[in-house]
Structure 1
């Protein structure tokens, strides 16, 4: 069978709520690019949202999946060889626009994103064009790092972008609202940034129980707050002796409008809107005087750069962010619908799709 006739299995989103496992043509290796044999892809909450409601950037049909690792099957660039183990930073940027020239590549005017505007990792193979190679979208995985652990580089890179924008520093107290996979990554990362106190809040008791379990071992988390049972304001002020916190990280889609967050901040505190908000609940009511007189800041964060992705991969490889603690399910592509359902219902933490042709190499 020629390369042009080769087929692959893929989970294809035909339209919202219509995700199908199909045999489709395998992509060809683009000039100056690479063809990758997928090893592992993680299910993200963004994938769940796109399956359920679609996305303004989606053209259908689309293969989702933007947290991806694999092995080079074919290379038309000197930078990579067949057999190289790689992790993909999903943003493929132009490298030439105003934002790229400033190093703000996550805001590239011509950005293509795997699993959004370009077919992603919920398939046995994917291709990366020459401009992706040139701008750092393909990264070599260190020998001792598994495909499944390396797949966390993308979400961790987004957390790095957020914590850098929020200026988290040595000695800060940090409140993280949302104890899911992203909240846990934020907590581990905040510890490496030198945060002296980390508070996590969530309305789901099972998420808080996981954070407090031996499996998670997030030992730096000083206080857990169940917002379904107690007042976030009272609990935070009690934990901080009425001083408040330096940084609040919104690591879930609920919470920005539900809580008077500026009141929980110290002087010059920062609120990081890390998660996108539902359109129907995106409006915020903020007392401008609290921001003005308290010199407090509201900060948004979206995506990550290739450089932040490389930093994340290095942190994971060095064991500074123990991402293996967050892997609660490993499934074949054929069970992707069950994995999406678990993520939708917030059961477990991170589900990793393992691909059969690489399964023996995934630790």
Structure 2
């Protein structure tokens, strides 16, 4: 089978690899579409994501859909020919976190396309992938493979919104208007938020957020007065989501969120924290919570996509054939041209 492999920084190769064996509880899926995520871009551009360094060829890709081509002897939930979205997370179900309902923190999780463990956990950017039947969620013929691949990032967004608590009638601000930020806006609107503010430094991504429901956009680099206005009178925002992964973004959330409001940290923070007003978390009695991956929300995401409750098509920039995978990564890295880029097989 054809396999995309990252060997190190800027070293992405296409290789032929043998097909994996199939266990009785497993399913062989012909991969049709795989989204390129921020972590995939980090592995490609830098050979690492934070402390997770590529030490052997890594197949990226954790936003995937495909078609079942073979099932194990004990599998009855799906059959050959079924179109499926692929949950990239396989939790053990027995560790202390799984037993507590926090499988996103499973001590023994297998997650597509991650160098966080050794041997590395290979992803779905390949012609075929073998998964447990429980990782396959059937989707209708009316949902394209490309849109079905949005199940994973939408699940991340839904989990973040869950962590924020009730948003009914609330003013919500999302700082960092990339694909996850845009999906959080959509999820917050579904949860009943009345005002949806998107903040970024790229006009093109802000325009995409307008297309999916943002009621207001702010370019932080060009409109500092607008951010100052949101910070007036101890803050005008009920709940904010930091998705940019920058301390400047967190600082804007702290300043703009009203006393006793909520900040959800979604982005992976990096850079210099100097100037971030952490003391205001105490002064304003803010609720600061982190949001990591998802739990049950993957099934919710696929259900919402399948029933058309959320239309993510405005976020799909281009589906690029695997033969042009280098072009796909280059496009995905350009925030002025791309929101979500997929590789297709």
TM-score, length-normalised on structure 2? 0.90
Partners of 1:141 and 1:78 in 2: CA distance = 16
Q: Which residue of 1 aligns with 2:109?
A: 111
The secondary structure found in structure 2 opposite 1:271 is strand
Partners of 2:99 and 2:18 in 1: CA distance = 36
Q: Deviations over 1:2-44 (max 9, x none)?
A: xxxxxx1111111232110111212222332111110111111
Going from structure 1 to structure 2, the CA distance change for 1:235 and 1:345 (only over 3 Å counts) comes to farther
How do 1:1-363 residues align onto structure 2 when only pairs under 5 Å count?
8-53=1-46, 54-55=48-49, 56=52, 58-76=54-72, 77-116=75-114, 117-128=120-131, 132-133=132-133, 136-212=134-210, 217-218=211-212, 220-231=213-224, 233-237=227-231, 243-256=235-248, 259-278=251-270, 280-281=271-272, 285-288=276-279, 290-305=280-295, 307-346=296-335, 347-355=337-345
The secondary structure found in structure 1 opposite 2:147 is helix
Q: CA deviation at 1:205?
A: 1.7
Q: CA deviation at 1:284?
A: 8.0
Q: Deviations over 1:275-298 (max 9, x none)?
A: 1123x446784443x333432111
The secondary structure found in structure 1 opposite 2:324 is helix
Q: CA deviation at 1:168?
A: 4.1
Q: CA deviation at 1:271?
A: 1.1
The secondary structure found in structure 1 opposite 2:297 is helix
Partners of 2:214 and 2:202 in 1: CA distance = 17
Partners of 1:284 and 1:163 in 2: CA distance = 27
Contact 1:250–1:256 (8 Å) recurs in 2:
no
Q: Over the residues paired in the alignment, what is the CA RMSD in angstroms?
A: 2.0
The secondary structure found in structure 2 opposite 1:70 is strand
Contact 2:151–2:301 (8 Å) recurs in 1:
yes
Q: What are structure 2's unaligned runs of at least 5 residues?
A: 115-119
Contact 2:250–2:276 (8 Å) recurs in 1:
no
TM-score, length-normalised on structure 1? 0.86
Q: CA deviation at 1:190?
A: 0.7
Q: What are structure 1's unaligned runs of at least 5 residues?
A: 1-7, 356-363
Partners of 1:284 and 1:141 in 2: CA distance = 47
Going from structure 1 to structure 2, the CA distance change for 1:257 and 1:84 (only over 3 Å counts) comes to closer
Partners of 2:151 and 2:90 in 1: CA distance = 16
Q: CA deviation at 1:175?
A: 0.7
Contact 1:37–1:73 (8 Å) recurs in 2:
yes
